[in-house]
Amino acid sequence: MPGTWSSLTLQLAARAVLRPRLAVDLVRTAWAFRRRGWYRQPPYLPIPDPTYLRWRMYTAYADEDAVPPADDVTRFARWRRETMGL
């Protein structure tokens, strides 16, 4: 899969600026993926646990090092809101 996590973040940020509902969906999804106890360990940011993220990428794309396309992330965020009633 081409791309980097930084480019994915920039693409999602650009889409979120144009679509505020998507921005809310993406923030809620990111918060759900945060590492538990993130405030107790450096870097003190609510980011996903690397092991969990690698597992998620493997189960979704059969590659631990995959970076999902922005379309997949936006669809997942919308699906999560619609199915979970968020």
Provide the pLDDT confidence category of residue 2 given band limits of 50, 70 and 90: low
Provide the pLDDT confidence category of residue 44 given band limits of 50, 70 and 90: very high
Provide the pLDDT confidence category of residue 26 given band limits of 50, 70 and 90: very high
Which pLDDT does position 77 carry in this prediction? 97
Q: pTM for the whole thing?
A: 0.87
pLDDT at 1 over 50: no
Which pLDDT does position 6 carry in this prediction? 94
**Is 73 exposed, middle or buried, given 0-12, 13-18 or 19+ CB atoms closer than 10 A?**
buried
Residue ranges covered by each domain of the chain: 5-84
